Amino acid sequence: MICGSLEVSAVHISGREKGLMTVILILLLSNVYFIYINNWGQKTVLTPETIDSIFVEEEEEDKSVVVYVTGQVKSKGVVCLQEGDRVIDAINAAGGPTGEADLDRINLAELVTDEKWIYVPYVGEEINHAVIGSIGREDEGKVNINTASASEIERLPGIGPVLAGRIVDFREKRGPFGTPEDIMKVSGIGPRIYESIKDSISVK
């Protein structure tokens, strides 16, 4: 095997260059030391108290409240609020009241809670009261036709997607049902269907 020779040539560094390199090295070491000291001074020591505070902060960040706003508002639908917000905040989040809204019949200062439904009536509307109720099932498993979603109403016997949609549209346009029997005011729901669902629905 024939191996090639490796030639190493010496590099001459002048005294001036050595001094410049020394200054650069000192500056680099100073910066590293400065960064280390700052980071070391800001580091957090984990103790039972600091760990608890971390979990408390995480819990405090997740305090959103989701409510359903319908009736005389400009953009009816589901809105996301913060814990501690009031009914007026929910209405404003839904675009604010329309010109026909009767706000005197609603407690605008009431605190909102998660999964509530807020109905804003129009002036002169004949309803028992402004509705702020839980969405979904209540009264021992009965379907609340004033707050249940269309998919929940479809679970009732004899109620398909079309009738469920009509029920939701009816209450949004004319307000909540005063009695379970009022569901027969919805087009397509007569006495026969009502008899099959009356024991499974509520309006509270």
Buried b / exposed e over 146-185, threshold 16 CB at 10 Å, is: bbbebebbbebeebeeebbebbbebbeebbbbeebebbbe
Q: What is the pLDDT of residues 8-40, one digit of tens each?
A: 444 555 666 667 777 777 777 766 555 555 555
Prediction pTM value: 0.42
pLDDT digits (tens, 9 = 90+) for 51-62: 555 555 555 555
- Higher model confidence: residue 13 or residue 166? 166
| Distance (Å, whole) CA 2 – CA 155 | 90
The closest of 186, 204, 106, 101 to 150, measured between CA atoms, is 186
Q: Apex CA 72: angle with CA 68 and CA 74, to 5°? A: 80
Domain ranges of the chain: 63-135, 137-204
CATH class in words for 137-204? mainly alpha
CA angle at residue 45 from 32 to 57, to 5 degrees?
115
Output 107 or 47, whichever has higher pLDDT: 107
Instruction: Report the percent of the chain where pLDDT is more than 70.
Output: 66
